[in-house]
Amino acid sequence: MEKERIGLDTPLPLPCGVTLPNRLGKSAMTEGCADHLGRATESHERVYRVWGQSGTELLITGNIQ
């Protein structure tokens, strides 16, 4: 029996009941945008705006305080 192929543009139902329109995601990573005290900067705002407008439905952040 052949398995059905699921494309990246296929909706992804999550256990919490939310369904993401596609299966594209960006994992947490080091952006290198923080200031010398480790605080978020305008650079963070810019990169997250770009990622938010990219069509990627799941953006996982890390180390945001």
Q: What is the pLDDT of residues 9-30, one digit of tens each?
A: 999 999 999 999 999 998 888 7
Q: Is residue 10 part of a domain?
A: no
Asked if pLDDT for residue 63 goes beyond 70, the answer is no
Q: What is the pLDDT of residue 65?
A: 56
Q: Is residue 8 part of a domain?
A: no
Q: How many domains is the chain partitioned into structurally?
A: 1
Q: Is residue 48 part of a domain?
A: yes
As a whole number, the mean pLDDT across the chain is 88
Residue with tokens 């407008």: 53
* Residue 24 near residue 56 (C-beta atoms within 8 A): yes
Q: Is residue 50 part of a domain?
A: yes
Q: Is residue 9 part of a domain?
A: no
Min mean pLDDT across 7-16, 30-39, 44-53 is at: 30-39
pTM over 0.85: no
Q: Is residue 45 part of a domain?
A: yes
Q: Is residue 40 part of a domain?
A: yes
